[in-house]
Amino acid sequence: AQTVTQSQPEMSVQEAETVTLSCTYDTSENNYYLFWYKQPPSRQMILVIRQEAYKQQNATENRFSVNFQKAAKSFSLKISDSQLGDTAMYFCAFMKLTGTASKLTFGTGTRLQVTL
Partner 1 sequence: DVKVTQSSRYLVKRTGEKVFLECVQDMDHENMFWYRQDPGLGLRLIYFSYDVKMKEKGDIPEGYSVSREKKERFSLILESASTNQTSMYLCASSLFKGVAGIQETQYFGPGTRLLVL
Which residues in this chain contact partner 1 in the complex, by CB under 8 A? 4, 9, 33, 35, 37, 43-47, 50, 91, 93, 95, 97, 100-109
Q: How many Å apart are CA 31 and CA 53, to the nearest integer?
A: 6
Q: How many Å apart are CA 16 and CA 21, to the nearest integer?
A: 16
Q: How far is the CB of 20 from partner 1 (least distance, A)?
A: 19
Contacts of 15 (CB under 8 A, 6+ apart): 82, 83, 84, 114, 115, 116
Nearer to partner 1, 16 or 97 (CB): 97
Nearer to partner 1, 2 or 58 (CB): 2
Nearer to partner 1, 4 or 19 (CB): 4
